[in-house]
Structure 1
């Protein structure tokens, strides 16, 4: 590992912190202490980024409500179209049934009329 030589100046608080860190960690040189602090900082930063990647952000309640409302609206529209189509098919089926019934009634009435006319003519011919 190659080291770089630098001239660094600190304010009083930073220097005190560095001296305290060196005592706690049993580090002899300030450069080694700074390197270790930087390494710890980098590790914490990477852990924080990794943690953020793992935890998905929770969307706000307003956004959730909007998404659910939109899905419900789409579902209701689909159901409305389905019911409209069913209603149309039912109407058409009823029309066909009614037309068949009217046709049968007309055929029966025509048959009755022809029976009456035939009976009348037979009675008239005698």
Structure 2
């Protein structure tokens, strides 16, 4: 369905319309204006799509940022693991100290017992 309108143009616009009609082989000015409007709308939609695509692309952070974030996370993980290992090492060290103290105490007790036996044996022989 077409609408009838009365329009007025300045000289440049009228010349452009006449030139467009010749280039596109359009017979009526209304058809030429409709085509121009359609082309304009298509260009506008393409521009909006490009802008939308650029916005989508621009939301992806640059590689440097990604590398920095990953590096920070790795550093945090390494620090956590280092603290965990240090704590484990400390526990192992303390356990070894306790074990060695127990072994030394047992050795001392056995040596004391042997000394006591020697002294007792010596005294027995002395008394005889």
Does the pair score TM above 0.5?
yes
Aligned to 2:57: 57
In the other structure, the counterpart of 1:90 is: 89
Deviations 1:56-86 (A, max 9, x none): 424698x654443233222211210111011
Counterpart of 1:118? 117
Q: Under a length normalisation based on structure 1, what TM-score does the superposition of the two structures give?
A: 0.84
Aligned to 2:25: 26
Q: Number of paired residues?
A: 124
SS class of match (2:2): coil
| Matched position secondary structure for 2:35 | helix
CA distance in 2, matches of 1:41, 1:7: 21
Alpha-carbon distance in 1 for matches of 2:88, 2:63:
38
Q: 2:57 is paired with a residue of what secondary structure? A: coil
Deviation of 1:12 after TM superposition, in Å, equals 1.8
Partner residue of 2:12? 13
CA distance in 1, matches of 2:58, 2:25: 43
For residues 115 and 60 of structure 1, the distance between their equivalents in structure 2, rounded to whole angstroms, comes to: 80
Distance 2:57 2:40 in 1: 24
| TM value normalised by structure 2 | 0.83
What's the CA shift for 1:19? 0.5
Structure 2 stretches lacking a partner, 5+ long: none
* C-alpha separation in 1, matches of 2:22 and 2:124: 141
Gapped regions of structure 1 (runs ≥ 5)? none
Instruction: Measure the CA separation in 1 of the matches of 2:8 and 2:35.
Output: 18
